[in-house]
Each structure stands twice: as structure tokens, then as C-alpha cells.
Structure 1
Amino acid sequence: MRVSYQYRLKPDKEQVAKIEKWLEMLRCQYNYLLGQRFDWWETHRTAVNSCPLICHLPELSDRPTYFSQKQRLTQLKKDRPWYKEVQSQVLQDCVKRVDLAFQRWLRGDKNGKKSGKPRFKGKGRYRTILFPQVKPDCIQGDYITLPKFKTIRLIKHRPLPDGFKIKTAQVTRKADGYYLTLSLEDISVPESTINIVPTSENTLGIDLGLKDFLVTSEGEKVEIPQFYRKGQDRLKKLQQKVSRRQKGSKRYQKAVKQLGKHHQKVARQRKDFHFNTIKSILSKGDVIAHEKLNIKGLAKTKLAKSIYDAGWGTFLSRLAVKAENAGQLTVEVNPKNTSQNCSGCGKKVPKKLSERIHNCPHCGLSIDRDENAAINIRNLAAGISVSSKAQSRTEAQAGAAEKLQPYSVGIGCG
């Protein structure tokens, strides 16, 4: 089992200068390695038999790979001795990042999903130093010892869990300072195996929206906070301040830092809201069912700003991780007609987006539109057929009427 703990670092002036120097050298090396990949790709991507009869064939060379570029790091330190200051595994991680970015562009990830074309990193855009290996006892009290660094002070706001070993350490520069992220592993803790069968009793359906952040199948609503929209006035002033400064000056850097802190505050507010909402949801059901949303497609509409402000994708990914850690389950269902179909009788009741109340002319059900959708999501996850449920309800009503019939006839005869 692996977990990540993050702590605030408090480096001194010399350590800050060294971290910034390392980040700048790693940025230059990243751009150089990425340029090698692009040069080879531009000159070798067309097959020889596809070229015209008269053309200039480039000099063929070996394709840059992760291993070939990593082997050239030895020559790099000979040609540029100042790179000897950077720890060897940190440089190797830079090569790994280039390879990962390039492969995701050409081949995609394990699910076949491709990323955009990698870009060269401008000044200040390389923010992370990863140490793949650190000593098990690198943390002593409120200090951590990193390779080729002296002890750096950190704010240890919570102790490390017992039995976990430190696998990697990562120093990240953010808008308000430097942070240390530790990846911890405990082999004795087995991976969680979730064997939960969704039923109507243990399943909670949630419907995400923009009027309310979510509505559950039990009728509870969570208001949408809209942190980004509430901070737009402040954001506008900060962006104007940045645009009026001379690029590269100290006042420009100060304005950029203020702008970054504003964005960081909004992101932290949204993160805190997500985790509080997840904690509340997981306490109400063993299985959480939600729609499988095409968020990128929805974000191409005029509602893009509101959708990204709500952070649906991040919320659902965090929900899946927290549910797995708690031994619970999340289920995705097809969103087709979940807001149009009636949760009482299963009949389709077309309605516009502006209509917020579901009024079924077939069975007379009248509830909130989002609650109706949440109930449909829960039924789909639990495998409940609404038509069979309505049929069983009708049979039960008919049976009750048969039982009452002799009693009512007896009263009439008397």
C-alpha cells in the first residue's frame, strides 16, 4: 500500500538558491532532450518508400530512447562540469519525464488516450525535483536530509505512519514556497479487494449539476460554492497588474507571485470542499453511483467556466480513491435519459433544461428533476428495473384490493 504525505519546507537562503539553480539546469536539460526527440521525429517520420523520386534524404541516425539519452548523461557531465552538482538520479528522472511526455503524445497511455504535443518549458516552468531514493532515516525530528543537500527544516504537522518506509522524496516549488512530498509504502498492508454487490439498500446515487453541486437519491442537496467566480474581481485586478508591469522586472515577478497565490487559494478552497463532500457521501452508502460524464465535451459549451469551476472530473477521481481506501465502491452508469425517465414508472417524460421539477403524467410522480435523476442512477447501478418494480407495485395494490373486497361487500349487505 502506498500513501503520500506533504510537508512545508523552510530552507535557508543558500538552500533556496541551490534549489533554484537545480531547477534551472533541469529545465535546460529537459528542453535539450525534448529537442533531440523532435529533431529525429521531423527527419525520420516519413518512410523511405513514401518519399518523392527527387528529394534530399537526411543522414539517418539512431532514434533517441530513454536508455540512449540516459547513457549520454555521463558525457554531459564531462562537457558541462556544472551538472556534476546535480544528483545523478535526479537527472535520470528528467530523462524519464521527457520519454513519458513523448510516448503519451505518440502512443497514448495504457488506456490508449493520447496527450497533446509536449512543449518546451519556459523560465520558471520546471518546478519539481524528484529523489527516487532516500535513506530510511532521512527525517530526524523537524529536519530532512536529501542527497547533496544539507539538512532542510520542515514543518512536520503530522507524524509518519508506523510501518511505512519512505520510497521517494519530491521537492516542489509553489506560489507560496517549497513543499516536500513523501511517497510511503507498507508491504504488509495488502491491496484492498472490494467484494460489494450493489443493491437498493447499500447504493447511493448522486447527480452532479451546476444549480446544485450534487443531489443524492435520498433528496439531500449540496450547494455549489463557485470559488472561481467569487474571486473573479480580485483575479481581474491582479491580471491587470501583471500586464502593466515590464516583463522580467522585480515588480513584474512580484505581481506574478500574487496572481499565483490567488489561483492557489482557489484550488485549495475547491480541494477542501471536495474532500468534505466526499466524507459526507461515503458515510451514507457502501456503493456510490454516478454518471459517466464526458466532461471535455460538456466544457466545449457556453457552460465551460462553470463546469471547470465545479471541478467534476477531479471530484470523481478523488471520490474513487477515497472510496477504495475505505473499502467502498464507486460505479459509473450510462447517463442516457437519466433525467428524462421517470424513477417511478420508467416512462420517458421529455423536458427542457429550464424545467426543474419532474412531473410524470403517467404515474403522477412529482419530485425535483435532479433527485429523479439520482434515483435513476442508483437503480441502474443496483440493476433495478423500474418497469418490474412498477409491475410488482401494481400487483401488490391489486392483491390488497382483493383482500378488502369481501369486507366491503359484507358491510354493504348488513
Structure 2
Amino acid sequence: MRSAYQYRLRLTKSQVVKLEKWLDMLRHQYNYLLADRFNWYEQNRCATNACPLVCHLPELRDNPDYFSQKKTLPSLKKNRPWYGEVYSQVLQDCLKRVDLAFKRFIKGDCKGVRSGRPRFKSKNRYRSLTFPSLGKNPISGNFLKLPKFGEVKMVYHRPIPDGFKVKTATITRNADGYYVTLSIQDDSVPDIIPIDEVSNPIGIDMGIKSFLVKSDGTEVAIPQFYRKAQKRLKKVQKAVSRSKKGSNNRKRAVVKLGKAHKKVADTRKDFHFKTAKGLLDSHDLVAHEKLNIKGLAKTKMAKSVLDAGWGQFLSILSTKAENAGLVTKAVNPKNTSQNCSNCGKKVPKKLKDRIHSCPHCGYTEDRDINAAKNILNLAVGHPVSSKAYRVSQPLGGVGKKPALYR
């Protein structure tokens, strides 16, 4: 099992200067290596349908991959001695970022989906560095020991669970300060309960009117964090647009705008974590729709869809369930709001029709609750009676949750 814990850092002025110097050097190295990749790409390619009879291409050279660029680090430190201040593994991680970005541009990911052309990083775009490995027991009280950087003070608001080891540390510069994300690992993974052994399943239907509606009839109201903060964000954005580019007033306004947007994102993420915990505390299986969020974000409902943050919530829900040994099941959303959850017959209805009334069996229910029940039936494989929701022990004796989930 692998998870990530994030803590806020309390850096001294000298540590801030040192960290910013490291980030600036890594940014220059990232741009240089990326330019080297692009030079090779432009010099060694030629369209098959437009190849001239006489080729004037320069002398071809080998593809600069991760290992060939890694061999240039000793000469880099020799020609530019100030790069010797940066921890060697942090420099190597910079090479990995270049390699990953370029490979996704040329070959694509595991599914063959290619990313856009990688950008050269400006000062505001290169904001993090990673320590791929740490020493033994790197945390002592409120201090974290980083190789070749020293001890940094952090707000240690929650301890790392017993049995977990700190693998990597990533320092990030955000709008409101510096944070460190610790990647922790434990080899013991809780067994996932089979679907046919769940005792208290639930189906949820994501929506815009309500954040989600459960198959037992209860719902979670949608908070609309972005829409409520629009007036305040508009005022701060106006201060940015009216200030002169490059001025100190504009820099201060940009920082203020970043903090305002981060507050909206943090409150939304906190809501998602609490909602996911509430579901998993009461149910051992959560069934949901397999939504095409990117497609929905291109419709007229884009602002409401992105404000709800369905993708982030479902990702958190899946991760938390896996860490706790519980189950989440994504089902095909086709006709979940049209079919009757009682008899299975299709009952066509428009989006404005909020009540499901089946002419075949006479079943009447709220449209969203009927959809949630259909989602649950598809996940379990058979209709689930209402008795399944009245269980004395929510987890059905599955066992105690691991400390990471609690």
C-alpha cells in the first residue's frame, strides 16, 4: 500500500533562498535538456510524403534518452560548479521529468494517448523538486531531514501510521507557502472483500442539483464552492488585470488571486474527503457511474460539473476504499435514469421529469433515487432489497480498518 501525506513547511529565510536557488538551477537544466530533445527531434525526422531527392539533413545522432543525458551530469558539475550544491538524486529526478514529458509527447501513455508539446518552464511554472530517497528515520519530532539540504521544520499535524516507511519527499511552492508531500509505503495490503460477500452496499447517483443521491433515499447537498466565491474572485481578478505588467502591485495581486483560488480548491477537497469517509464508514460497497467528465465539461453544464469536482471525489473514494479493504464499483451509466429499478422495463423521460413513474408495475420514485438503485443493481448483479440497508454492523464483520484509513 502506498499513500501520500502532505505537511506545511516553516522554512527560515536562508532555507527559502536556498530552495529558490535549487529550483532556479533545476529549471534551467530542465529547459536545456528539453531543448536538446527538440533539436534531435527536428533534425532526425522527415515526412515520408515530402522527402526531397537530395537530402540536406545534418549528421544524424543518437536519440538523447534518460541514460545518455544522465551521463552529462558529471560534466555539468565540472563546468558549472554551483550545480554541485544540488543533491545528485534531485538532479536525476529532473531528468526523469524531461524524459516522461517528451515520451508522452512522442509515444503517448500506456493507452496510446499523446500529450501536447512540452513547454519550457518559466520561473512560476517550475515549482517543485523531489528527493527520491531519504535516510533512515528522517522525521524527528517536527523536523524532516533532507539529504544535502538539512533539517526543515514542518507542521506535523498527523503522525505517520505504524509500519509505514517514508520513501520520497516532494517540496512544492504554492500560493500560500511551501509544502512537503511524503510518499509512504507499507507492504501489508488489506484483502478486498468479494462483491458477493458485501453486507451493506449502496449506490450513488452524482448530480448537479444534489452532489449525490443514495439508493436508500438520502442525499448530500452540493456546496457550490466556486459559484459562492465568484464575487470575491472577480474583485481580485480585476485588481490583477488593472495593474501594470511587471510591477510589484501586480505581483502582490497575483499572489492574492492564487490564495483565493487555492482556498476554493482546498475547501472542495476537504468536502470530498469527508463525504467519502461518511460513505465508507457506513457501507462496504459503493457503486457509482463511470462518468465521462471530460465530455461533460465541454457542455453548457461545464461550470457546474467542474465546480462539483466529480473526478476528484471518485478518485478519493476509490483510493480510500482500497486502503480500507472495501469495494467501489463503476458501472455503465446508460439508461440508469430511464429503466425502472423495480421491474427493469425502460420508461423514457426527459431531463425536466424529476419523478419516475413506471406504467408497467406502478412503481413511483424520485428520478435520482431510482437511478441510484439501478446503479446498485448493476454493480451487485441482482436487485437489492431494502432490508440490505438495515444491518446492525455496517461493515458486516469485515474487520477493523487499518490505521491509515481511520
Cα deviation for residue 14 of structure 1 reads: 0.8
CA deviation profile, 1:11-65 (whole Å, cap 9, x unmatched): 1111101111111111111111111112211222336796121442232111110
Counterpart secondary structure, 2:282: coil
Q: Is the 8 A contact 1:198 1:287 kept in 2?
A: no
The TM-score, its normalising length taken from structure 1, stands at 0.88
User: Counterparts of 1:144 and 1:47 in 2: how far apart (Å)?
Assistant: 52
User: 1:221 — aligned with what?
Assistant: 219
CA shift at 1:385, angstroms?
A: 6.4
1:247 counterpart SS class: coil
Is the contact made by 1:200 and 1:379 (CA closer than 8 Å) also made in structure 2?
A: no
- 1:288–1:331 CA contact under 8 A, matched in 2: yes
8 Å Cα contact 2:195-2:327 kept in structure 1:
no
Q: CA offset at residue 161 of structure 1?
A: 2.5
Residues of 1 paired with 2:143 and 2:193: CA distance?
A: 42
What SS does the corresponding residue of 1:159 show, helix, strand or coil?
coil
Structure 1 CA distance, aligned partners of 2:339 and 2:164? 49
Q: Which has the larger radius of gyration?
A: 1
Match of 2:400 in 1: none
- Structure 1 CA distance, aligned partners of 2:351 and 2:236? 36
> In the alignment, does 2:291 pair up with 1:301?
no
Q: Unpaired segments of 5 or more residues in structure 1?
A: 390-414
The answer to whether residue 147 in structure 2 is matched with residue 147 in structure 1 is yes
Aligned equivalent of 2:362: 364
1:86-105 superposed matches below 5 A: 86-105=86-105
Counterpart secondary structure, 1:332: strand
Amino acid at match of 1:149: F
The letter for the 2-side match of 1:299 is: A
- Deviates most, 45-54 or 373-382: 45-54
RMSD after superposition: 2.0
Maintained 8 Å contact 1:144/1:153: yes
1:354 to 352, 355, 358: 352
Other structure's SS at 2:283 match? coil
- Residues 113 and 329 of structure 1: CA distance in aligned 2, closer, same or farther (over 3 Å): farther
Q: Do the aligned partners of 2:142 and 2:154 also contact (CA within 8 Å) in 1? A: yes
What aligned pairs does 1:81-160 form with structure 2 within 5 A after superposition? Answer: 81-160=81-160
Note the 1:10-409 alignment, pairs <5 A.
10-46=10-46, 51-187=51-187, 190-198=188-196, 202-384=200-382
Find the aligned partners of 2:369 and 2:27 in 1 and give their Cα distance: 50
Q: Contact 2:199/2:284 (CA < 8 Å) preserved in 1?
A: no
AA partner of residue 2 (structure 2): R
Residue by residue over 1:98-120, the C-alpha shift from the partner in whole angstroms, topping out at 9 and shown as x without a partner, is 11112222223234343332211
In 1, are the aligned partners of 2:189 and 2:323 still within 8 Å (CA)?
no
Identity of aligned residues (%): 62
Asked if the contact 1:358–1:369 (Cα under 8 Å) also holds between the matched residues in 2, the reply is yes
Stretches (4+) displaced over 4 A: 47-50, 198-201
Counterpart contact for 1:198–1:381, Cα < 8 Å:
no
The question of whether the paired residues in 2 share the 8 Å contact of 1:200 and 1:378 is answered with no
Amino acid at match of 1:105: F
Unpaired runs of 5+ in structure 2? 386-406
Q: Distance in 2 between matches of 1:91 and 1:174?
A: 21
Q: In structure 2, the residue corresponding to 1:283 is in which secondary structure?
A: helix
Return the alpha-carbon distance in structure 1 between the equivalents of residues 176 and 165 of structure 2.
Answer: 28
Contact 2:102 2:118 in 1 (8 A): yes
